[in-house]
A and B are shown apart, each in its own frame.
Chain A
Amino acid sequence: MPKVWLPSPMRDVTGGQHTLDIPGKTVREVLANLMARYPGARERLLREDGRLQPHLVLLAGDVQVDDWETPLEPGSELVITAALGGGCRPA
């Protein structure tokens, strides 16, 4: 199953874990499973309207993903990280 890398400040909702194996075939499924397993993750990740928090970005490997239907292979990685201010950047 895909491995998810979380922003360090989210470790308090995952029992100190920075990386988690979360099942799911798409970005949407993985996020949904993550939020179902860890109460408190939802409000850290999403705005009230269900969109991603504005300070966060999602990366599949090292490519930014905006489309949550993007498929994730087993063994692939989904990185959730803070958007970097300044500079043309991957995230």
Chain B
Amino acid sequence: MSTKVIVETTINGVPETFVCEPRQTLLEVLREELGLTGTKEGCGNGNCGACCVLLDGRPVNSCLVLAVEAQGREIVTIEGLAADGLHPLQQAFLEHGALQCGACTPGFLVSAKALLDAHPRPTEQQARRWLAGNLCRCTGYDKIIRAVLDAAERMQADGSAGEAALADKAEAGATGNAPQSSSRPTAGEEVRPA
């Protein structure tokens, strides 16, 4: 067994110190040592995005980050998304039925937050590109994409990112099913950072 290392970091705005083996991933430490089990393990090798967290504001797959790399850095997990009520993305996911089993949901929400931080008014195509690193097996992505675009619109309308006081929508899921253009990616679009 290898020597353990002390790591000082900030998680969801709170200073946190933990000890870990140098080979342990950030995902494993979050889940098994710190009890932050909202971050999910779906594949363990960076292909599914269920373990997505923000590291200094950038979305990363925490299964590909060693816990020791978190030294001195700021981490936001799904548990840190809601403040003074649900984040508009969380509210939109609920109203659009953008989740079924819920295993991919935390990763999608964190990725979507990174998207909206960078592009407050994304196009459908941008949203699909940014979220292409997150696999969902239940929804076919339709309602997820609609929820993300709707949340962006509401945040613009509210002029705030943290307000969840959203108008009651009687037919929240009924967003219409207008025929969509081809999902074929076009050149020159912004690609999700690393």
A contacts B directly in the complex (CB < 8 Å)? no
